[in-house]
């Protein structure tokens, strides 16, 4: 990451002229705020930072930020971001999206992002519902949840994002809450600085289709201060807690990243077709 020499940057330096399309009170405002704040704190160069997203309310994100952006198709933010980072390791790459993107249509990509440990940051805005399509169930909706697509109550179990990320051995796992933007900004900042695949699960309520503000206000609790983020088993215990929604840094481990290892396997040289074709002579 290229650090700026510019003295102070604020949130406004990263905000684009496009007004967010979200409903009033949407949790994603808090996440956007926290993200902009973390960018300013890190003095991320807008010309060398790319925010990649999929489809959904939260995936409009790149349009509201002054860095480069890539608003792709549903579920594919992670592979777009990984391809970009593999090809351009010099850039800061952040993938954003919602629970539909990351835990339903694109959940397969999460597994492989974890295995590769390419240095990108994923920020997942989880509202436990499909907001853009008006309130159907999502993988993180609770069992029994009644919606237009689950008129008799949701028959499936609830997906646990943090526990899944920990079980996949993602090298940086954190959770934040959109209503606590300061703490969230700090987590996103750490996640961006982490070398490897970092996963920030954000509780980001949808006041229009599934208002979980009160429930989460009551359930959210900071991880105990004594929690050691190198202890994955303990972290899993907190992630599996059925009462509390712990926020903070669950787990962190420094591991080699695929894009850097891939560039160390051989010493590159200039390609010359005359030389290359000789093998077929």
112 binds other proteins (CB under 8 A): yes
87 binds other proteins (CB under 8 A): yes
73 binds other proteins (CB under 8 A): yes
Alpha carbons 94 and 123: distance in angstroms, whole number? 7
277 binds other proteins (CB under 8 A): yes
User: Contacting other proteins (CB under 8 A), which of 25, 108, 153, 224?
Assistant: 108
183 binds other proteins (CB under 8 A): no
Which neighbouring-strand residues pair with 125? 98, 202
Find the shortest distance in angstroms from Cβ 126 to other proteins: 22
DSSP string of 109-165, one letter each residue: HHHHHHHHT-S-EEEEEE-SEETTTTSEE-TTSPTT--BTTBTT---SPPP-HHHHH
Find the shortest distance in angstroms from Cβ 62 to other proteins: 5
Find the shortest distance in angstroms from Cβ 247 to other proteins: 29
Alpha carbons 281 and 279: distance in angstroms, whole number? 6
With CB under 8 A, what is the number of residues at the site for other proteins? Answer: 64
Alpha carbons 28 and 243: distance in angstroms, whole number? 24
- CB closer to other proteins, 69 vs 196: 69
User: Contacting other proteins (CB under 8 A), which of 1, 20, 83, 237?
Assistant: 83
280 binds other proteins (CB under 8 A): yes
Residue 9 token pair:
């940057």
Alpha carbons 184 and 186: distance in angstroms, whole number? 5
Residue 146 token pair:
């009644």
Stretch 28-47 residues interacting with other proteins (CB under 8 A): 43-47
- CB closer to other proteins, 57 vs 239: 57
User: Contacting other proteins (CB under 8 A), which of 63, 150, 169, 193?
Assistant: 63
Classify burial at 138, counting beta carbons within 10 Å of its beta carbon; exposed 0-12, middle 13-18, buried 19 or more: buried
Find the shortest distance in angstroms from Cβ 147 to other proteins: 26
Within 10 A of 73 (CB to CB), how many other CB atoms are there? 14
* Span from 133-141, 151-159, 174-182, 265-273 in contact with other proteins (CB under 8 A): 265-273
Distances in Å between the alpha carbon of 203 and those of 99, 116, 153, 274?
10, 26, 22, 57
Interface characters, 242-261, with other proteins (x: CB under 8 A): -----------------x--
Distances in Å between the alpha carbon of 176 and those of 58, 62, 86, 202?
15, 20, 28, 5
* Span from 50-58, 143-151, 153-161, 185-193 in contact with other proteins (CB under 8 A): 50-58
Q: How far apart are the first and last CA of the chain?
A: 45
What angle (nearest 5°) sits at the alpha carbon of residue 247, between those of residues 234 and 229?
35
What residues make contact with other proteins under the rule CB under 8 A? 2, 4-6, 9, 13, 18, 21, 43-50, 52, 55, 60, 62-63, 66-73, 75-76, 78-88, 90-91, 108-109, 111-112, 259, 262-263, 265-266, 268-274, 276-277, 280-281
């Amino acid at each position: 990451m290229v650090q700026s020499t510019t003295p102070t940057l604020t949130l406004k330096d990263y905000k684009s002229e496009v007004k967010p399309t979200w409903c009033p009170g949407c949790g994603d405002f808090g996440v956007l705020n926290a993200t902009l704040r973390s960018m300013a704190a890190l003095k991320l160069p807008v010309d060398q930072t790319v925010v990649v997203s999929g489809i959904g309310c939260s995936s409009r994100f790149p349009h509201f930020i002054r860095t480069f952006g890539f608003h792709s198709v549903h579920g594919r933010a992670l592979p777009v971001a990984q391809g970009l980072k593999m090809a351009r390791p010099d850039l800061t790459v952040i993938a954003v999206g919602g629970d539909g993107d990351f835990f339903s249509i694109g959940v397969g990509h999460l597994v492989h992002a974890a295995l590769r440990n390419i240095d990108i940051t994923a920020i997942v805005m989880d509202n436990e519902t499909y907001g853009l399509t008006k309130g159907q169930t999502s993988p993180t909706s609770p069992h029994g949840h009644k919606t237009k697509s689950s008129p008799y109550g949701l028959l499936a179990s609830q997906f646990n994002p943090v526990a899944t990320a920990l079980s996949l051995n993602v090298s940086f796992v954190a959770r934040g809450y959109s209503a606590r933007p300061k703490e969230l900004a700090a987590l996103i900042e750490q996640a961006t600085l982490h070398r490897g695949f970092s996963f920030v699960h954000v509780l980001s309520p949808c006041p229009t289709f599934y208002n979980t503000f009160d429930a989460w206000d009551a359930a959210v609790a900071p991880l105990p201060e004594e929690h050691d983020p190198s202890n994955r088993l303990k972290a899993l215990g907190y992630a599996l807690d059925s009462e509390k929604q712990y926020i903070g840094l669950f787990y962190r481990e420094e591991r080699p990243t695929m894009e850097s290892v891939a560039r160390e396997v051989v010493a590159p040289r200039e390609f010359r077709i005359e030389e290359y074709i000789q093998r077929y002579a």
